[in-house]
Amino acid sequence: MKFVIALFAPPHSPAARRALRFAEAVLAGGHEIVRLFFYQDGVHSASANVVAAQDELDVAAEWSRFVSANQLDGVVCIAAGLRRGVLDAGEAQRYQRPAANLAAGWELSGLGQLHEAAQQADRLVCFGGQ
Amino acid sequence: MATLHLLSHSPFSDGRFNSCLPLLGDTDALLLAGDATYALTAGTKPATELEQLPEQVALFALEDDVQARALGMLPPRVQLLDYAGFVELTCRYERINSWL
Amino acid sequence: MARSMLIISRQAPWAGPSAREALDIVLAGGAFELPLGLLFLDDGVFQLTKAQQAASLEQKDLTANLQALPLFGIDSLFVARRSLAERNLDESSLALPVEILDDAGLSTLINRYDHVITI
């Protein structure tokens, strides 16, 4: 089956870890991940600037590794990212902000990418919630 | 045709549990994850409400969340899942409604 | 055939960006002419009440955007009867024409769509 996995929660949220373990199990089960889409506070889970405590799981780093290792299409919603201060180099320059902090493996793009993926996918599974 | 509903908030401190249960279709399923697994605590109102769900509504919980919380005696109808089981479950139901 | 999506909006209008971000998903899908539905549930029904004064909170009033949805081809708008009743609201309290559904109707509604996102 083809999956789209959407994350709406920051890396310190239990949902971020749950989504990652689910995504790993999707691939382990022989299924395909069409796209990962990070929205709302999920954009923080694609931040390169998160410093997890020594005794805590570094979920943002694990997500970045997972996307790269499996060459997945990882998209962070640009509007949600801007609102929350997760920017790539282009946006940091455009808005004259001091730092670009989008982690490697992720791309900023619009909600159209979520819809495009959902059109291709058999299952859309969302994780997160305030 | 059926939907898998996913709850991850505590039924004691959050309204999603109470909003979700009346919307469950006859053959829908409910997966409890995160703090929603506290709903399985014996002798509580949420646990009673879960017991009262129609028989054809399948009830699941994530094993790692249940284990972490040492919840004690679980309702017999709940099936514990690991992540492989979670993925399989999402394939079995037509859509997944996560109560974000 | 295009896959359909139901967006369930559960948050009050100014409980953070969720109301707006749910609507953004709907508008993005509308731009692609996708089959979408929008259901207001729980505190989400507060997004529809009349005479809101968002400017008092220095916030954006989404009512105009919601009223414009049919122009984007989105006219499947639904509201949960139970959520209205809990908040002592009824059809006359709402700023838009919507279909009001009871619990069984909501359950049937959800099961008609290919994908669901609840925000």
pLDDT in tens, C3-43: 999 999 999 999 999 999 999 999 999 999 999 999 999 99
> Among the options A77, A86, A102, A108, which is catalytic?
A77
Report how far residue B62's alpha carbon sits from residue B82's, in angstroms, rounded to the nearest whole number.
Answer: 6
Give chain A positions within 8 Å (CB) of B62. Answer: 18
Q: Are C69 and C29 in contact (CB under 8 A)?
A: no
pLDDT in tens, chain B (100 residues): 899 999 999 999 999 999 999 999 999 999 999 999 999 999 999 999 999 999 999 999 999 999 999 999 999 999 999 999 999 999 999 999 999 8
- Averaged pLDDT for residues A87-112: 98
The answer to whether the CB atoms of C103 and B22 lie below 8 A apart is: yes
Q: Which helix (H) or strand (E) holds B19?
A: helix B16-20
Helix A14-28 and helix A59-69: axis angle, to 10°?
20
How many residues in total does chain B contain? 100
A40 closest CB neighbour out of C5, C21, C116: C21
pLDDT attached to residue C111: 97
The total of structural domains in chain B comes to 1
Domains and CATH numbers, chain C: 5-50+58-118 (3.40.1260.10)
| This prediction's pTM | 0.97
Residues of A in contact with B90 (CB under 8 A): 3, 123, 125
Report the C-alpha gap between A39 and C71 in whole angstroms.
25
* Residue A16 DSSP code: H
CB-based contacts of C32, cutoff 8 Å, min separation 6 = A112, A115, A116
Specify the CATH superfamily of domain A2-127.
DsrEFH-like (3.40.1260.10)
Banded model confidence at residue A130, pLDDT cuts 50, 70, 90: low
pLDDT score recorded for residue C9: 98
Q: Do B96 and A8 make contact, defined as CB atoms within 8 angstroms? A: no
Please tell me the distance from the alpha carbon of residue A12 to that of residue A10, in angstroms, as a whole number. Answer: 6
Q: Which two tokens stand for residue C95?
A: 């700023």
Q: What is the mean pLDDT of residues A15-28?
A: 98
A59: its two tokens: 């979920």
Span A47-66, pLDDT tens digits? 999 999 999 999 999 999 99
Q: What whole-number distance in Å separates Cα of residue C79 and Cα of residue B64?
A: 36
Across the beta sheet with C36-40, what order do the strands follow?
Answer: C99-101, C77-80, C36-40, C5-9, C115-118
Chain A closest CA to C30's CA: distance in Å? Answer: 10
Burial of B80 (0-12, 13-18, 19+ CB in 10 A): middle
How many other C-beta atoms can be found within 10 angstroms of the C-beta atom of residue A100? 15
Q: What is the C-alpha separation between B30 and B49, in angstroms, rounded? A: 13
ipTM surpassing 0.90, yes or no? yes
In order of A26, A112, C22, C94, the CA distances from C50 in angstroms are 45, 31, 20, 6
* Kind and range of the H or E run holding B6: strand B3-7
* CB of C111 less than 8 A from some CB of B: yes
Q: Is C91 on the interface with A (CB under 8 A)?
A: no
Cβ atoms C45, C84 nearer than 8 A: yes
Return the closest-CA partner of residue A50 out of A62, A67, A32, A40.
A62
Residue B35 CA to chain centroid, in angstroms? 11
Per-residue pLDDT tens digits for C52-109: 999 999 999 999 999 999 998 899 999 999 999 999 999 999 999 999 999 999 999 9
Let me know: does A33 contact A72? Beta carbons within 8 Å: yes
pLDDT at residue B1 in the model: 81
* CA dihedral sign, ordered A29, A32, A35, A39: negative
> What SS3 class is residue C31?
helix
The DSSP result for C60-118, as a single string, is ---HHHHHTGGGGT---EEEEHHHHHHTT--GGGBSS--EEE-HHHHHHHHTTSSEEEE
CA-based nearest distance B44→chain C, Å? 23
A126 is catalytic: no
Q: For position B66, which CATH number holds?
A: 3.40.1260.10
The residue range of the domain holding B86 is 3-98
Chain A contact for B99 (CB, 8 A cutoff): yes
